[in-house]
Amino acid sequence: MEYPDIEKTKQIVDVALKEDIGQGDVTTSALVPVDQQTSAVILAKESCRLAGLPVAELTFKNLDHGIIFTTLKNDCTDISPGPVAEIKGPAWSILTAERTALNFLQRLSGIATQTASFVEKVKQYGTEIYDTRKTTPTLRILERYAVRAGGGQNHRFDLSAQVLIKDNHLKIQDRFGPGSVVRSVQLARKHFPEHIIEVEIDDLQDVENALHAGADIILLDNMGPEKLKKAVSIVAGKAITEASGGVSLEMAESIAATGVNRISVGGLTHSFRSMDFSLEIKE
């Protein structure tokens, strides 16, 4: 699986370390000699889908290149409580980088774990689970990696990657007369002929309009299962169908059963529970 750009990840890690260290780790400076060596272990305190060990390693090594980081478990795998990595090196470096490294690890593993739960719910239907742009500012490349670690797929990375005509775009187009769906798709195709064009629809008549206009993906927003079935029937494989709109884990299977190609879930990256990890100095 493709890992996030290392240089961009280092930049994120650098900012995070500066935020946490501030003017210096006064506790460690007062209590730990600079030449003191030690070893530690990172422990998963609960079962989860592991994601972010390489980010944790970068965090320690970004602070001190002398740290030796040994992974005991692999990213993108399901793990039980127990050791996931061993660390050796200067004690002050390990203690100073500890919280930042764990913050990355617990957050990314939380996203991966939640994504894996959604993927498991819909796998019998062949439906794919997608994330959205509802990510933490500046952390998108890492959170999208965590979604992939959980078996999910990534939607457009940014506003330049794909045309996505949302309801607010259509409201603006409504000011210029009827037929906003068709007009919007045609305008997008004229200006960006090489881009994928997706349009958000909440009405069955507009599903037909989007098809007629040549949309590549039809985003079926906040439709119940019966309405989704009708929409999928209208599309009949002529475009990709995507369901969205406050999709919970409990709802995912019934949505997938309607035959939609994919489900986009903002909650993968904005409403997950971080997993519990700790770092313990060895005796």
Give the model's pLDDT for residue 105: 98
Given a cut of 90, whether residue 2 has pLDDT beyond it is no
Mean pLDDT, the chain, whole residue set: 96
Within this chain, do residues 39 and 93 fall inside the same structural domain, yes or no? yes
Give the model's pLDDT for residue 162: 97
Given a cut of 80, whether residue 211 has pLDDT beyond it is yes
In a domain, 18, yes or no: yes
Tell me the two tokens of residue 110: 């939380």
What's the mean pLDDT in 146-161? 97
Give the model's pLDDT for residue 25: 96
Residue 43, SS3?
A: strand
In a domain, 1, yes or no: no
- Residue (of 105, 88, 96, 83) closest to 32 by Cα position: 96
Within this chain, do residues 227 and 124 fall inside the same structural domain, yes or no? yes
pLDDT band at 242 (very low <50, low <70, confident <90, very high): very high
What is the DSSP code string of 96-155?
HHHHHHHHHHHHHHHHHHHHHHHHHHHGGGTPEEE--S---TT-HHHHHHHHHHTT-B--
In sequence order, the 6+-apart residues with CB closer than 8 A to the CB of 208 are 234
Residue 241 contacts residue 7 (beta carbons within 8 Å): no
Q: Which residues are catalytic?
A: 99, 134, 166, 200, 221
Give the model's pLDDT for residue 1: 73
Within this chain, do residues 131 and 20 fall inside the same structural domain, yes or no? no
Within this chain, do residues 115 and 197 fall inside the same structural domain, yes or no? no
Give the model's pLDDT for residue 78: 98
Within this chain, do residues 67 and 155 fall inside the same structural domain, yes or no? no
Residue 169, SS3?
A: helix
- Residue (of 267, 263, 265) closest to 240 by Cα position: 263
Burial of 41 (0-12, 13-18, 19+ CB in 10 A): middle
Within this chain, do residues 106 and 200 fall inside the same structural domain, yes or no? no
CATH number, domain containing residue 260: 3.20.20.70
pLDDT tens by residue, 36-60:
999 999 999 999 999 999 999 999 9
pLDDT band at 178 (very low <50, low <70, confident <90, very high): confident
Sheet containing 37-44: give its strands across.
68-71, 82-90, 37-44, 277-281
What's the mean pLDDT in 136-155? 97
Residue 25, SS3?
A: coil
In a domain, 257, yes or no: yes
What's the mean pLDDT in 8-28? 97
What's the mean pLDDT in 4-9? 92
Residue 141 contacts residue 4 (beta carbons within 8 Å): yes
Q: How many domains does the chain have?
A: 2
What are the start-end ranges of the E strands in the chain? 37-44, 48-49, 68-71, 78-79, 82-90, 128-130, 163-165, 197-201, 217-221, 240-244, 262-264, 277-281
pLDDT tens by residue, 82-131:
999 999 999 999 999 999 999 999 999 999 999 999 999 999 999 999 99
